[in-house]
Structure 1
Amino acid sequence: MEIPGPEPRPDGGVGAVAAAGGLHLYQLQLHARYGPVVRFQLPGAETAVSVADPVLLETTAHIDKRPERLFEFLAPLFETGNLQVMPADEHTPWRRTLLSVLAGRPSHERHFARFTALAAELADRWAERADGEPVELQKDLTTLSLRMICAYALGGDAADPDSVVAAFEEVLTEHLGRLYQVPAGTDGHGTPERRAERAEEALASLRAMVDQVVLAHRPGSRADKSDLIGTLVAAGERPARIRDTVMVTMLAAHHTTGVAVSWTLHLLGRHPEVAERVAEELDRVLGDRSVPEYGDLRRLTYLDMVLKEAMRLYPPGPYGARETTGPLVLGDYEVPAGTTVFYPFWAVHMNPEHWPQPEEFRPERFAPQEVAGRPRLAYVPFGLGPRSCEGAGLAMVEAESVLAVLLRRFRFRPAPGHEVVPVERFVLWAANDIRMIVSPRRAPG
Structure 2
Amino acid sequence: MRIPGPATRDDDGAAAIGAAGGLHLYQRQLHDRYGDVVQFPLPGVGTAVSVADPVLLERTARLDERPEALFAFLSPLCEAGNLQVIGAEEHTPWRRVLLDVLAGRPSHERHFGEFVALAHDLADRWAADDGARGIALQEDLTALSLRMICAYALGGTDPALVDTGRVVHAFEVVLTESIGQMYRPPGADEEARARRVEDALRYLRGTVDRVLDARRGSRARGDRGDLVGALHDAGMTPARIRDTVMVTLLAAHHTTGVAVSWTLHLLSRHPGVADRVAAELDAVLGERAAPDHADLRRLTYLDMVLKEAMRLYPPGPYGARRTDEAITLGPYEIPAGSTVFYPFWAVHMNPAHWPEPERFDPERFTPRAVAGRARLAHIPFGIGPRSCEGAALAVVEARLVLAVLLKRFRFRPVPGHEVTTVERFVLRAADDIRVVAEPREAGRG
Q: TM-score range by the shorter chain?
A: over 0.9
Any conservation in 1 of the 2:177–2:197 contact (CA below 8 Å)? Answer: no
Moved more, 199-208 or 307-316: 199-208
Any conservation in 1 of the 2:62–2:384 contact (CA below 8 Å)? Answer: yes
Equivalence map 1:315-326=2 (5 Å)? 315-326=314-325
Quote the sequence identity (%).
Answer: 65
Q: Normalising by the residue count of structure 2, what TM-score does the alignment of the two structures yield?
A: 0.93
User: Residue by residue, what CA displacement relative to the aligned partner does 1:231-271 show, whole Å, maximum 9, x if unpaired?
Assistant: 11222222221221111111111211100001001110110
1:17 maps onto 2:25 in alignment? no
Any conservation in 1 of the 2:353–2:377 contact (CA below 8 Å)? Answer: yes
1:347 equivalent in structure 2 = 346
Equivalence map 1:133-148=2 (5 Å)? 133-148=133-148
- Output the CA distance in 1 between the equivalents of 2:71 and 2:50: 17
User: Residue by residue, what CA displacement relative to the aligned partner does 1:191-245 show, whole Å, maximum 9, x if unpaired?
Assistant: 6466345324303412422441573267xx5322211112112222222212211
Any conservation in 2 of the 1:168–1:206 contact (CA below 8 Å)? Answer: no
- Output the CA distance in 2 between the equivalents of 1:254 and 1:403: 15
2:187 equivalent in structure 1 = none
1:310 equivalent in structure 2 = 309
RMSD of aligned Cα (Å): 2.1
1:437 maps onto 2:436 in alignment? yes
Matched letter for residue 345 of structure 1 = F
Equivalence map 1:224-239=2 (5 Å)? 224-239=223-238
User: Residue by residue, what CA displacement relative to the aligned partner does 1:149-196 show, whole Å, maximum 9, x if unpaired?
Assistant: 11110113867353366345324423433322599xxxxxx9646634
2:117 equivalent in structure 1 = 117
Distance 1:247 1:217, change over 3 A: farther
Q: Which runs of 5+ in 2 are unaligned?
A: 185-190
Distance 1:88 1:191, change over 3 A: closer
Any conservation in 1 of the 2:146–2:164 contact (CA below 8 Å)? Answer: no
1:254 maps onto 2:244 in alignment? no
User: Residue by residue, what CA displacement relative to the aligned partner does 1:377-415 show, whole Å, maximum 9, x if unpaired?
Assistant: 011000000000000000000001110011011111111
1:203 maps onto 2:224 in alignment? no
Matched letter for residue 196 of structure 2 = R
2:4 equivalent in structure 1 = 4
1:127 maps onto 2:127 in alignment? yes
1:37 equivalent in structure 2 = 37
What SS does the corresponding residue of 1:49 show, helix, strand or coil?
A: strand
Distance 1:363 1:157, change over 3 A: closer
Matched letter for residue 320 of structure 2 = A
1:174 equivalent in structure 2 = 174
- Output the CA distance in 2 between the equivalents of 1:434 and 1:410: 16
- Output the CA distance in 1 between the equivalents of 2:5 and 2:119: 46
Distance 1:352 1:194, change over 3 A: closer
1:297 maps onto 2:296 in alignment? yes
- Output the CA distance in 2 between the equivalents of 1:15 and 1:156: 43
- Output the CA distance in 2 between the equivalents of 1:207 and 1:144: 18
- Output the CA distance in 1 between the equivalents of 2:21 and 2:194: 29
Moved more, 11-20 or 24-33: 11-20
Distance 1:113 1:424, change over 3 A: same
Any conservation in 2 of the 1:46–1:339 contact (CA below 8 Å)? Answer: no
Distance 1:422 1:159, change over 3 A: closer
Q: Which runs of 5+ in 1 are unaligned?
A: 184-189
What is the CA-CA distance between 1:319 and the residue it aligns to? 1.4
Distance 1:433 1:165, change over 3 A: closer
1:74 equivalent in structure 2 = 74
Moved more, 336-345 or 5-14: 5-14
User: Residue by residue, what CA displacement relative to the aligned partner does 1:2-23 show, whole Å, maximum 9, x if unpaired?
Assistant: 1111122333212221222221
1:105 maps onto 2:105 in alignment? yes
Any conservation in 1 of the 2:154–2:212 contact (CA below 8 Å)? Answer: no
Distance 1:10 1:215, change over 3 A: same
Distance 1:157 1:433, change over 3 A: closer
- Output the CA distance in 2 between the equivalents of 1:203 and 1:116: 26
Q: Normalising by the residue count of structure 1, what TM-score does the alignment of the two structures yield?
A: 0.93
- Output the CA distance in 2 between the equivalents of 1:19 and 1:8: 16
Matched letter for residue 66 of structure 1 = R
Any conservation in 2 of the 1:38–1:49 contact (CA below 8 Å)? Answer: yes
2:213 equivalent in structure 1 = 212
Matched letter for residue 82 of structure 1 = N
What SS does the corresponding residue of 1:436 show, helix, strand or coil?
A: strand
What SS does the corresponding residue of 2:155 show, helix, strand or coil?
A: helix
Distance 1:254 1:157, change over 3 A: closer
Matched letter for residue 297 of structure 1 = L
1:85 equivalent in structure 2 = 85
Matched letter for residue 335 of structure 2 = P
Any conservation in 2 of the 1:420–1:430 contact (CA below 8 Å)? Answer: yes
What is the CA-CA distance between 1:133 and the residue it aligns to? 3.6
- Output the CA distance in 2 between the equivalents of 1:130 and 1:159: 25
**Equivalences, count:** 437
Distance 1:197 1:12, change over 3 A: closer
What is the CA-CA distance between 1:88 and the residue it aligns to? 0.7
Any conservation in 2 of the 1:3–1:37 contact (CA below 8 Å)? Answer: yes
What SS does the corresponding residue of 2:422 show, helix, strand or coil?
A: strand
Matched letter for residue 203 of structure 1 = L
2:28 equivalent in structure 1 = 28
Distance 1:56 1:85, change over 3 A: same
What SS does the corresponding residue of 2:432 show, helix, strand or coil?
A: coil
Matched letter for residue 100 of structure 2 = S
- Output the CA distance in 2 between the equivalents of 1:143 and 1:102: 20
- Output the CA distance in 2 between the equivalents of 1:38 and 1:237: 40
Matched letter for residue 417 of structure 1 = G
1:414 maps onto 2:427 in alignment? no
Equivalence map 1:157-196=2 (5 Å)? 160-163=160-163, 166-167=166-167, 169-181=169-181, 192=193, 195-196=196-197
Matched letter for residue 208 of structure 1 = D
Matched letter for residue 95 of structure 1 = R
What SS does the corresponding residue of 2:48 show, helix, strand or coil?
A: strand
2:397 equivalent in structure 1 = 398
What is the CA-CA distance between 1:312 and the residue it aligns to? 0.5
1:187 equivalent in structure 2 = none
Distance 1:17 1:200, change over 3 A: closer
Matched letter for residue 360 of structure 1 = R
